[in-house]
Structure 1
Amino acid sequence: MENSRYITAAELARRIKIELKKAVVEQEEIMDQAIISLISGGHVLIEGVPGLAKTMLIKALARTLSLDFKRIQFTPDLMPADITGTKVFNMQNREFEMVKGPVFTNFLLADEINRTPPKTQAGLLESMAENTVSVDGEMLPLPNPYMVFATENPLEYEGTYPLPEALVDRFIMKLLIDYPSSKGEKEVLMRHNQGFLGSDLNSVGIEALYTAEDIIACRKEVQGIRVEEGLIEYIVNIIKETRNNPTIEIGSSPRGSIALLQCSKGCAAFMGRDYVIPEDIKRMALPTLRHRIILKPELELEGVKPDEVLQDILSKLKVPR
């Protein structure tokens, strides 16, 4: 583990990525975006078909942080109280006692979140929005830092439920993970042939490098990143176009513009700069906005993806220099 000296966000990102590569093959952009989300202080949704190492990536990231880590496997019979906890009656002292659920942690893996009905999915909403949990009228604070990483299967998969829009909007980024290249898949097979087990991260020697204090310090660094007024206007124009574009039924909310600003600052810190440049904004636009827009139904039927529409918007907007 690192000592108590101040660590920059760029150095933290570099060291974490070295550790992640011990377990995860390729997926460079996904790793970068996950780390940027971590130092930006937001929650992350990762979508991909089963078997693409979504869960392993998150577990490996958690291993590099000396934080309390819990995992919830979402299933159709999961109830909100299974997430938040509940009060039970203690027969000995004849009082109700709080039994805290797995949400009381620093780093929560919500695995296959769209395998459970919306009522249970909403059990995470307050924790992600307010960093608190309410049980029987009592509001309880969550640890700091608190971060949710959720994985989901594409909606076309049987037995999945769409996430409520209010919950989706709470994720600072939505990452799309795809199949590895032939070279990458060969590397996966070589590693497993040599004894690597995805269920046993100890076998690759991932180290716990950082503490809660390091994460909080890096988030303060991100807050101090400079953003020129012209770049603020650029973000406003991007969001405005999502609301005016004829192919989009519902555009991004103001929370989307805040997420794009925050992640652009996180991207700058990730790259070792104390100021945002237009390329940071363009790089963060897709992961921060793809889940905040709803395309016209006819476009979805034609197979048009949100990323394509966002790319088109970015290509037509004047970039400040």
Structure 2
Amino acid sequence: MQNPNILLGKLTVKNLIEICKNYKIEDYSGLRKKAIIDLIIETLTEDELNIILEENKLIDKKEISKERKVKNTNKDNIADDEDLLNILKETTLFKQLMNEAQKQNEADLKTLFEKNKVSDKEKKIEIVLSGQYKEALDLLLEADASELHPILVGPPGIGKTTLCRYYAQMRSDLTGNHSFEWITFDESTKPAHLIGSFNPSITIQKGFNFESFNPGPLLKTMLKGGVFLANEINRATEYTQNSLLEPLEERTFAVPHLGRIKASSGFFFIGSMNPSELVGTHRLGEALKDRFNVWIELDYPEKQTEMKIIEQNNPHYKIDESILEKIYLIINRTRNHHQIQIPASLRSGIAMARLSGLLKLKYPHQNPNQILRKVAKNVLIGAINPKPGVKVNDIATNIISQIIGTA
């Protein structure tokens, strides 16, 4: 809307005096036109000014309506934000976070570090053991009992690492040996990250001995007879891959300056890798490939299993079964879409479920499908990788419309 000063300036002095009389504005006598306008604007409310402008046909009624709508929307947004904060404060998750925050504010970093340090005996890992995951767990157990080296192969985000951690925990409950180490490989991973390295300052003082040596995760599990997980092993360079040949074949490892060590009884090496066609992966060398005796293929889980996993990973914000199924259908649709190179993983489904559950608390009267339509797009934009020349927004919108509809 234009400046009220300009709009009222289009009226005559007689009109302005009439307005003053109608709204019982005094002290206008003897004032010039501009001063009368200033007096009217200072005295009247915004709504009263709008009525005057509308009656004198200085402003369109639609413009006033639009302006009011914008202001009401802004008020609603502020109210929504306040409502959301109040809702969050009442959830179990945020009550827990607020209690933790109060304790952490009173603690120093060293205390917090000790408090949050992950122990050898982790908190019980909860997983869905059905379908391919139960079969994979059985194969890990059989490979371990046969002193063979298994490797899990499958796309990102299907739970390979979680399954291995679960197996290591289950094994530690049986044997009492809690030694479990794992490292996620990439191009920067060097053999020293696996075997360990010497501390320069201590080495200068005391020479090359065990006191100046910092053992790496692979060496630790070999000495303790524990479980070592080489996560995403095909992202490592051939140089690093070759350093694994000796421990896999001979169950020994040569430590420079200290000698060659052999693995204790119970040492179990597990590998995991992504499909070779993914960006950032290297070809697994034939020599290393030959050392893995049990190949466990994992794919995206079947419908009921995936829905159980999504539900299990959304403990704080419950959603309806129908919305859970639609989340699965959206995620699954990305996996057989002809314009998508890399589809959405299980993590995307979990993200949709958590956001949908939270927004259901914020907007209890809103259609759950409308909520899902909004959050699904926000998740899919970063979760899928389309083929060249295809816009990710277009694919996401198309898939969501197919599953939920456009209404």
User: TM-score if structure 2 supplies the norm length?
Assistant: 0.41
Question: Aligned residue for 1:124?
Answer: 244
Residues 33-112 of structure 1 mapped to structure 2, 5 A cutoff: 33-66=139-172, 67=177, 68-89=179-200, 90-91=202-203, 93-97=205-209, 98-104=213-219, 105=221, 106-112=226-232
1:192 to 313, 316, 333: 313
Structure 1 residue 26: deviation in Å? 2.7
Cα deviations by residue, 1:80-111 (Å, 9 ceiling, x for unpaired): 11112234452574311333211120100111
Aligned counterparts of 2:171 and 2:137: Cα–Cα separation in 1 = 15
| Runs (5+) with no aligned partner, structure 2 | 1-123, 318-407
Q: Is the 8 A contact 2:128 2:309 kept in 1?
A: no
Q: SS where residue 278 of structure 2 aligns? A: coil
What's the offset of the Cα at 1:21?
7.7
Counterpart of 1:102, as a letter, is: P
Q: What aligned pairs does 1:226-237 form with structure 2 within 5 A after superposition?
A: none
Q: Helix, strand or coil: the match of 1:65?
A: helix
Deviation at 1:23, TM superposition (A): 4.3
1:220-231 matches, cutoff 5 A: none
Higher relative contact order (CA 8 A, sep 6+): 1
Question: What is the rounded CA distance, in whole Å, between the counterparts of 1:118 and 1:87 in structure 2?
Answer: 24
Q: In structure 2, what is the Cα distance between the partners aligned to 1:54 and 1:107?
A: 15
Q: Percent identity among equivalent residues?
A: 30
Distance 1:108 1:134 in 2: 17
Q: Residue 22 of structure 1: CA displacement?
A: 4.3
Q: Pick from 282, 289, 296: which aligns with 1:168?
A: 289
Change in 2 beyond 3 A, CA 1:129/1:179 = same
* 1:257-308 alpha-carbon deviations (Å, 9 max, x no partner): xxxxxxxxxxxxxxxxxxxxxxxxxxxxxxxxxxxxxxxxxxxxxxxxxxxx
How many residue pairs get aligned? The number is 178
Which of 270, 274, 277 in structure 2 is aligned with 1:156? 277
SS in 1 for 2:313: helix
CA contact (8 A) 1:23 1:56 kept: no
Distance in 1 (CA, whole Å) between partners of 2:171 and 2:306 is 27
Distance 1:102 1:87, change over 3 A: same
Distance 1:143 1:70 in 2: 15
Structure with the bigger percentage of helix: 2
C-alpha separation in 1, matches of 2:152 and 2:268: 14
Bigger Rg, which one: 2
Matched with 1:26 is 131
Structure 1 unaligned regions, length at least 5: 1-18, 197-321
SS at match of 1:72: strand
1:99 & 1:142 partners in 2: Cα distance? Answer: 17
Question: Take 1:41 and 1:20, find their aligned partners in 2: how far apart are those partners?
Answer: 25
